[in-house]
Amino acid sequence: MLKTPVYIYILFFASLLSSSAQIPEPDWNKQSGIRGCDFYTDILEDANKGYTVCGAVKIKGNSFDFELIRFTENGDTLWTKTIGTEKKEIPKRLTQLTDKSYVLMGSCTEGETQSCLLLKLDENGNEIWKKELSAEYTSVEDIISLSDNHFALAGSKSETPNDPKIWMATLDENGEFIMEKLFMTDMTGCARSIKEIPNGDFALAAQISEAGKNNCDIIAIRISPLGQAKWFSWIKTPDQKVWPACICCSPDSALMIVGWNGKCLNDINSADPIFDYDLVLNKINSSGEILWTKSVDREGSEGGNALTIRPDGTFIIAGIKATSFIGKIGPWLLNIDPDGNELNEKLLRLRFNNDHASRIINSSDGGFVVIGPGMQEEENTRSDGWIVKFRAL
């Protein structure tokens, strides 16, 4: 009797998994085409159908205004709202509350002073209220909607410029604080991403380091609805600069974190450390145990900005690939299985320098939507916001 080696079966089933988890082709794509510089930073599938995107448009010099754009399910523009003040505004994140209103979160700068700006808009993009958090909130990085038209913020809070602390808060429909908390106050840190877990807890992914150090680590924190930390999961990376960009709940009740890992090529404590950046992935179980940490380290630099869980249980990461020696540069999608193994990838068209796939969300028809280029430098003279809708397999 002929015996087939076990490894042949393993390879066979691995190939089936890989072939069944292809990244589909786009249904449609749109580019703003605005003369000058604009960019998109966040997207949601709107409760009124279609998609809503937040971004910024340059108005004069290096000054930007917020921009909110509503697209139909087919990518046609329904309306665009430009919202500005006398200050310079940079958008970061967008959420939609249970009454279908929006809360747009970003920063506003006047001279050397930067603060967080919150804008609440009705479902047609008309302003309901505007609030500027005090300058002691040195960074607000993420926002999520909660029940009862409430929402949560995550970032850092500091009384001194160079010693931020990991911070989160919940606010009511009028933008008034319900609860705010600081974590690991003996360290310097900033929460980069927040999610609400199905049982009502919160999960934070934060960057953390000793004050004045160039190296930093990732820390995940599980927090009760009342703001009490249930556990801390510290992912240490000595002599490296590592930070999360997105935290996501996986079907097995674990947490997935995607971000950037900077490996120092010279002395990390020097005045000018040089880093080679790679995409970093972490999986943590519901008790805070680190299950695995993986890095995508190829020729050049790679990075992950966001991830989403697909209906087949795999993940798609949105980021950037810069494999400069062989010309593979541009917005990048990477498909991985629940154990972090690479299945396939897709390089999107590079439109201009620093063009990232900055956010990715699932769509209700089984597909997904990606936007870019993400936040751009003030000195950029040319960039376009873009959106690509991928069909379901």
CA distance 370 to 7: 37
258, 195 in Cβ contact below 8 A?
no
Strands (E), 273-327: 275-284, 290-296, 301-309, 315-323
- Reply yes or no on whether the pLDDT at 80 is more than 60: yes
Q: Exposed e or buried b for every residue in 257-275, given b needs 16+ CB within 10 A?
A: bbbbbbbbeeebeeeebeb
- pLDDT for the residue 125: 93
187, 203 in Cβ contact below 8 A?
no
- Reply yes or no on whether the pLDDT at 18 is more than 60: no
Q: Please state the separation of Cα 223 from the chain's center in Å.
A: 20
- Reply yes or no on whether the pLDDT at 136 is more than 80: no
Q: What is the mean pLDDT of the chain?
A: 87
The band of 4, judged by pLDDT with boundaries at 50, 70 and 90, is very low
Identify the CA nearest to 317 among candidates 301, 340, 291.
Answer: 340
Identify the CA nearest to 259 among candidates 244, 247, 248, 249.
Answer: 244
H/E stretch holding 111: none
Secondary structure (H, E, C), 239-272: CEEEEEEEEEECCCCCEEEEEEEEEECCCCCCCC
- pLDDT for the residue 19: 44
CA distance 69 to 67: 7
**How many Cα atoms within 13 Å fall on the side-chain side of residue 12?**
6
- pLDDT for the residue 16: 42
- pLDDT for the residue 365: 95
- pLDDT for the residue 230: 97
- Mean of pLDDT values over 128-151: 90
CA distance 48 to 147: 18
Task: Give me the sheet containing 290-296, strands edge to edge.
Answer: 240-249, 255-264, 275-284, 290-296
Which of 7-16, 109-118, 134-143, 300-309 has the lowest average pLDDT?
7-16
Cβ count near 387 (within 10 Å) = 21
The band of 6, judged by pLDDT with boundaries at 50, 70 and 90, is very low
Q: Quick check: bond before 373 cis, omega within 30?
A: yes
How does strand 255-264 pair with strand 275-284?
antiparallel
- pLDDT for the residue 280: 95
- Mean of pLDDT values over 165-188: 96
Helix, strand, coil percentages for the chain (3-state, nearest 5) = 5, 55, 40
- pLDDT for the residue 21: 60
- pLDDT for the residue 266: 77
- Reply yes or no on whether the pLDDT at 83 is more than 60: yes
pLDDT digits (tens, 9 = 90+) for 229-281: 999 999 998 888 999 999 999 888 999 999 999 887 777 777 777 778 899 99
The band of 300, judged by pLDDT with boundaries at 50, 70 and 90, is confident
- Reply yes or no on whether the pLDDT at 44 is more than 60: yes
Q: Is the full-model pTM beyond 0.75?
A: yes
Share above pLDDT 70 across residues of the chain, in percent, rounded to a whole number = 90
107, 115 in Cβ contact below 8 A?
yes
Higher pLDDT, 121 or 382: 121
- Reply yes or no on whether the pLDDT at 204 is more than 90: yes
- pLDDT for the residue 222: 98
Amino acid at 347: L
- pLDDT for the residue 326: 59
CA distance 167 to 37: 32
